[in-house]
Amino acid sequence: MLQQDPLQPWQGEIWLGSDHCVLLSTLGRTDSHRHYAHQLLLGLDGPVQVRLGEQDHSSPAVLIPSQQPHAILSHGVPCLTLFAEPLAFTLHDFHEIHAQAGQTPQRLAECLQRWPRRPLPPRLAKAVQRIRALDDQALSARELAATAALSISQLQRLFNGTLELSIRRLVLWQRLRVALRLALEGAALTEAALAAGFADSAHFTRSVRRHFGLSPGNALHQLRLRTLG
């Protein structure tokens, strides 16, 4: 396992949208992890080093598909990082957005915000909209299925077939997004975790490490939230 450097967390600015974000930062090393979003790393002063599965890669641009295990090996390297959810963006969209917006963070953020979203089946779209409205309360599969006017098994098949993700994992991903935004807006980590529906700050910390390969403190404390538009 790669070792974290607690003295030098990620530093920079982040533009956070509902299904995407752009991060302008100096990279910090991470442990191996995987997450739902597609990720594109663009080195600003040279190549970025990443471990994809068991293979090490070094390139000015590294595309990491959804759910691909990976670890960031570079440290202190200026980089633009794009995250975009597969329920809204394809890998081809990523290539087109980069080609149109180049490597200017504000232009990339605005292009991602305006980009036509991947169409979803209407009942799946209703379920996703309900997940987007998560708060600190539990959301059962039964309630979500009722929102989409489907049985639980029908909804699960729709999630697995269209999004290649379980209901539970998308709900967890959304809770992570809510907690991260609240923390970036200034909330204490425990406050952000509870408001997003995590059992406690330890549950939130474990989830951040599993999805991003580093602690919430290293991920957030030196990032500045920027507005879109």
Residue range 91-146, pLDDT digits in tens? 999 889 999 998 888 899 999 999 999 999 999 999 999 999 988 888 888 999 99
What's the pLDDT at 8?
57
* Contacting residues for 134 by C-beta, under 8 A, at least 6 apart: 171, 174, 175, 178, 196, 197
Domain range spanning residue 73?
A: 11-118+214-226
Structural domains counted in the chain: 2
Per residue in 177-193, pLDDT (tens digit) is: 999 999 999 999 999 99
Domain identity same for 134 and 173: yes
* Contacting residues for 177 by C-beta, under 8 A, at least 6 apart: none
| pTM exceeding the 0.85 threshold for the entire prediction | yes
Residue 4 confidence class, pLDDT cut points 50, 70, 90: very low
CATH code of residue 45? 2.60.120.10
Per residue in 140-179, pLDDT (tens digit) is: 889 999 999 999 999 999 999 998 899 999 999 999 999 9
Could you tell me whether strands 223-226 and 11-16 are parallel, antiparallel, or unpaired per DSSP bridges? parallel
Per residue in 218-229, pLDDT (tens digit) is: 778 788 888 664
Question: Is 60 exceeded by the pLDDT of residue 1?
Answer: no
- The verdict on residue 162 lying in a domain is yes
Domain identity same for 94 and 29: yes
- The verdict on residue 19 lying in a domain is yes
Domain identity same for 104 and 194: no
Question: What is the spatial distance between Cα 44 and Cα 77, in angstroms, rounded to a whole number?
Answer: 8
State the DSSP code for 213: S
- The verdict on residue 17 lying in a domain is yes
What's the pLDDT at 205?
94
Domain identity same for 181 and 72: no
What does the CA dihedral 183, 31, 25, 75 come to, rounded to 10 degrees?
140
Mean pLDDT of the chain: 90
What's the pLDDT at 61?
93
Question: Is 70 exceeded by the pLDDT of residue 2?
Answer: no
- The verdict on residue 43 lying in a domain is yes
- The verdict on residue 62 lying in a domain is yes
- The verdict on residue 2 lying in a domain is no
